[in-house]
Amino acid sequence: MPLHNRIDKRVLKEMIANDPTQRKTVSFYKYFHVVDPHAYRDLLYKDWEAFGCLGRIYLANEGINAQMSVPLDNWNAWVEYLYADINLTNVPLKVAVEDDGRSFYKLKIKVRSKILADGLDDSTFNPWNTGKHLSAEEMNEAIEQGAIVIDMRNHYESEVGHFQGAITPDADTFRQELKMVEEMLEGKQDQKVVMYCTGGIRCEKASAYFKHKGFKDVNQLRGGIIEYAHQVNEHKLENKYIGKNFVFDERLGERISDEVIAHCHQCGAPCDTHTNCANVECHLLFIQCDSCKAVYDACCSDDCKEVIHLPEEIQRERRKGKQLHGDARNVFRKGRYNERSGGGISKAESVDQISK
């Protein structure tokens, strides 16, 4: 049987949009030694496809990093299968806060050199010596007591939501942010530092790295923003997270609080809805309000709007030989949108090609 899905993604998206199957979006990660990632990958693909799972999963010798959509009818059987793996028994599962069942449209499992692109040489420090894991209640206490709170996510994630008083570095990638935060915290090795990210995986590496760098009181939010939101709701705690939680799937975000702290990148109106430019050749990730979506036909500029109305064969011809973005994100850079192109976003000023 084929161990890859070769159907055009536009067809797959239409199929999932019309599929009545109820699904649950979940993410998890685990650092453990994988002897043969390629064989493990093929096994998981075969078995998880049989469960009807969709998602994006990264495997490496160091472990697994997964974001998935599982049919509700197969949820219990899938969890039983997952926990039967001795390496994944009782691995914490982070279930989405908001979920429409259409977070993924295909199953993609990739083998990489690392499950997280951190740019670190793990042989130079102990990546298992992580910081103290804080519950939602302990996170709130740390914020109230004046701890240094660091958002370990990229700028486009923190732009739509972050914890009260958190430092939100203007970083394109996690590997870039590690160095930025190290410089920002210079001379503060004796202060209490609390890190957070979406589901916890980035903080596992970051907290170990900063302990290695001599920081004495390093903490991380257990389960990340996703688990925090669940604990706040379950235990009726004060919610100190403002706005949305950006997620790397078709939803592009889940609301944690009612506040809208971001603005449309085209007109400046209050908005925190991320979208991808409808021009496949561009596919820019940016924030767009409903009014601008109507004006620009879901594109980032008049130039892209013109492209999507060209005959399909001409659009395909334009894309020939061009490097499309694939697993990278073509991302709007905040702070670089003063100039406009045809009333839309200035590409020369705003677009960076970065990896997730």
The token duo for 334 is: 């905040």
What's the structural domain count of the chain? 3
CA–CA gap between residue 98 and residue 18 (Å, rounded): 19
- Predicted pLDDT of residue 1: 54
Which positions of the chain have pLDDT values less than 50? 335-343, 346-356
Of 191, 226, 243, the position where a domain reaches its end is 243
Q: Which of 53, 197, 264, 289 is catalytic?
A: 197
Query: Which residue, among 164, 168, 141, 145, has the nearest Cα to 156 in the 3D structure?
Result: 168
CB 49 within 8 A of CB 94: no
Same domain membership, residue 97 and residue 151: no
CA–CA gap between residue 185 and residue 207 (Å, rounded): 13
CB 208 within 8 A of CB 128: yes
Same domain membership, residue 94 and residue 130: no
Read off the pLDDT of residues 95-138 as tens digits, 9 standing for 90 and up. Answer: 999 999 899 999 999 999 999 999 999 999 999 999 999 999 99
Same domain membership, residue 228 and residue 133: yes
Same domain membership, residue 92 and residue 192: no
- Predicted pLDDT of residue 8: 75
CA–CA gap between residue 204 and residue 201 (Å, rounded): 5
Query: Which residue, among 250, 320, 328, 318, has the nearest Cα to 284 in the 3D structure?
Result: 328
Query: Which residue, among 306, 302, 308, has the nearest Cα to 341 in the 3D structure?
Result: 302
| Alpha helices (runs of H) in 22-85, residue ranges in sequence order | 37-51, 75-84
- 197 catalytically annotated: yes
Domain ranges, residue 130: 122-243
Read off the pLDDT of residues 114-125 as tens digits, 9 standing for 90 and up. Answer: 999 999 999 999
